[in-house]
Amino acid sequence: MPRHTPLFDAHVALGARMVDFGGWEMPLHYGSQIDEHHQVRRHAGLFDVSHMLSLDLTGPRVTDFLRHLLANDVARLNRDGTALYTCMLNERGGVVDDLIVYRLDNLRYRLVVNAATAAGDENWIRSRNAAGTFDLEIAARRDLAMIAVQGPRAREVLTTIRPYTVNTVNGLGRFEVVELPWALVARTGYTGEDGFELTVPAGAATGLWNDLLQAGAKPCGLGARDTLRLEAGMNLYGTDMDDTVSPFECGLRWTVDLSPGRDFVGRMALEQAHPAAGQVGLRLLDKGVLRSHMRVRTASGEGTVTSGTFSPTLGFSIALARVPLEGSHPPMPGTSVEVEVRDKWLSAVIVKPPFVRNGKSLLVPPPACG
Amino acid sequence: MSNPPDRKYAATHEWVRSEADGTVTLGITHTAQEMLGDIVFVGDAKVGATLAAGETAAVVESVKAASDIYAPVAAEVIAFNAELEAEPQRLNEKPFDTWILRLRPANPADLAGLLDAAGYEAAVGAA
């Protein structure tokens, strides 16, 4: 049986086309995926992200535990109400999951993890504390729902439905979070636009969803979520990386804190590793659509597209790819490569992600092509 | 949207309509475009090729997926609707008024073996 979020009936009532996603029956789109994509880039879109799991970790040594568990260093969260994007690695340096960790206070953190990996993550985290040395309480919060409101008008929508939060919301910096009586409000997202992720008790989800719709935000499905995150140069777990891929091979080196003096799971493997491949962005110059698993031919060998799509904002196809390094780095932006699309080798050029931020293309004009 | 009775259908969601000059035009059904979602590319048309029934004649790509268009009967591909290069979304907007390929069947009698509208609906379980 597929699992349903508390907003399932609301999606069906809105005419959503539902699909399986990691065991959850979720909206793919509510009519047009491209319209929903543009809605988020230009106005405000709503996403049900209740399939993701909130894991609350509490205890006197919770900070020490997370500094051991996670590849980024939660000690960077030097005050309550701040958040960090990080990988959780296995001993081989492979990515068990990528997640956002919120410091609610210095004894209490929340990890928001991917839906498909949630059960495995919880077991993994519990196993890291099997000896009980960290004196932790770990709570999987399936009693909660999460709604993302994203886009240039997200702030306006949020302060319209909850006018008394205007000062709080306006004071919230990027990757900051605040606990209000009605919701946990985080200024985070997965679209490359400004926006908020709101976590509420499951029973309050439909009311909040309807309020946000009434304030002008449009419902958006997983289809638009995927094209938005790819334009924003953000990885999708299970596609752009998995537990056999190190953060160095999937463009996430920036999330790994190798400052001396902290022993985290996977560190030794990362320090001894000699990665042979790295992540690049691709722009297709010929007509067609790049898709995952397509072969990429570069001067230093063959790589693979990990995520590809047609970019609604840019009007051509883009992709993330893992390609062989040239020396210690992947090929530079501007380098020509070829991608095998349906038995033909098409021309593409390496670009530096993100492709789009805050509604605007970040790509320099392309080289002339014949 | 109902499937027009003036043409034949394949279970793989193509429609073909006989034209006055003895050729047929080929497109995709409303059901097909609905399953694909927003269409962003139509191409790789095998113009000039002589295909057996069931061979790939072109490709339609939506944001989500690529889908082959098959020759429903043995035929020569004689034209591709070049308007679709700039406006692939026409296949979403007006699937039954938008042709993709023009074909010359090797044996026009083969068309009789395709599905009629009711047969297509029964085959795909769609109205």
CATH of the domain at A44: 3.30.1360.120
Q: CA end-to-end span of chain B, whole Å?
A: 7
- pLDDT for A369 equals 54
Give the pLDDT band (50/70/90) at residue B126: low
Q: Residue A298: which domain range? A: 276-361
Domain boundary residue among A211, A231, A251?
A231
Query: Which residue among B37, B41, B66 sits closest to A29, beta carbon to beta carbon?
Result: B37
Q: What is the CATH number of the domain that holds A296?
A: 2.40.30.110
Q: Is B40 on the interface with A (CB under 8 A)?
A: yes
Residue of A nearest to B67 (CA): A342
User: How distant is the Cα of B18 from the closest Cα of chain A, in angstroms?
Assistant: 30
Calculate the average pLDDT of chain A.
Answer: 95
pLDDT in tens, A146-191: 999 999 999 999 999 999 999 999 999 999 999 999 999 999 999 9
- Test mutation, B33, B40, B80, B91, chain A, max A CBs within 10 A: B40
**What is the band of B125 on the pLDDT scale with cuts at 50, 70, 90?**
confident
Decide if A46 contacts A220 (C-beta within 8 A).
Answer: yes
Query: Quick check: B74 contacting A, CB < 8 Å?
Result: no
Question: Does a structural domain hold residue A314?
Answer: yes
pLDDT digits (tens, 9 = 90+) for A99-133: 999 999 989 999 999 999 999 999 999 999 888 88
Question: What pLDDT is stored for residue B65 in this prediction?
Answer: 86
Domain end (from A231, A247, A262): A231
Could you tell me the residue range of the domain that residue B80 belongs to?
16-108
How far apart are the C-alpha atoms of A89 and A70, rounded to whole Å? Answer: 7
Closest residue by Cα to residue B77 from B97, B59, B96, B95: B59
A34 contacts chain B (CB < 8 A): yes
Same domain, A305 and A200: no
Are A43 and A150 members of one domain? yes
- Does residue A31 form part of some domain? yes
Q: How far is the C-alpha of A221 from the C-alpha of A157, rounded, in Å?
A: 18
In A338-357, the residues whose Cβ lies within 8 Å of chain B are 342, 344
Interchain CB contact of A287 with B (< 8 Å): yes
Q: Tokens 């240039």 belong to which residue? A: A152
In this prediction, residue B1 carries a pLDDT of 72
Task: Look up residue A168 and give its two tokens.
Answer: 């709080």
Q: Categorize the per-residue pLDDT at B83 as very low, low, confident or very high, splitting at 50, 70 and 90.
A: very high
Position A370 pLDDT exceeds 50: no
pLDDT digits (tens, 9 = 90+) for A222-271: 999 999 999 999 999 999 999 999 999 999 999 999 999 999 999 999 99
pLDDT at B127: 46
Residues A151 and A26 placed together within one structural domain of the fold: yes
| B6 within a domain of the structure (yes/no) | no
Judged against a pLDDT cut of 80, whether residue B10 lies above it is answered with yes
* pTM attached to this predicted model: 0.92
What is the DSSP-derived secondary structure letter of residue A333? T
* Residue A176 in domain: yes
Above 0.90 for ipTM, yes or no? no
Number of structural domains found in chain A: 2
Q: Quote the number of domains for chain B.
A: 1
Select the highest-mean-pLDDT range: A66-70, A364-368, B62-66.
A66-70
Q: Taking residues A192-205, what's their average pLDDT?
A: 98
Mean pLDDT of B100-110: 95
Instruction: Flag whether B40 is in a domain.
Output: yes
DSSP codes, A258-327: --TT---TTHHHHHH----EEEEEEEE-SSS---TT-EEEETTEEEEEEEEEEETTTTEEEEEEEEE-BT
Out of B38, B44, B85, name the one closest to residue A342 (CB): B44
For residues A280 and A344, state if they share a domain: yes
**B127 domain residue, yes or no:** no
CB contact set of A132 (below 8 Å; sequence gap of 6+) = none
- Identify whether the C-beta of residue A3 lies closer than 8 Å to the C-beta of residue A23: yes
B52: domain CATH number is 2.40.50.100
Q: What are phi and psi of A83, to 5 degrees?
A: -135, 160
Q: Which tens digit of pLDDT belongs to each residue from A5-29?
A: 999 999 999 999 999 998 999 999 9
Domain limit, last residue, from A203, A231, A259: A231
Closest B-chain CA to A31: B37
One domain for residues A149 and A226: yes
Q: Is residue A248 a contact partner of residue A273, using CB atoms and an 8 Å limit?
A: yes
Nearest to B16 by CA among B49, B53, B42, B44: B53
CA distance B108 to chain A (A): 30
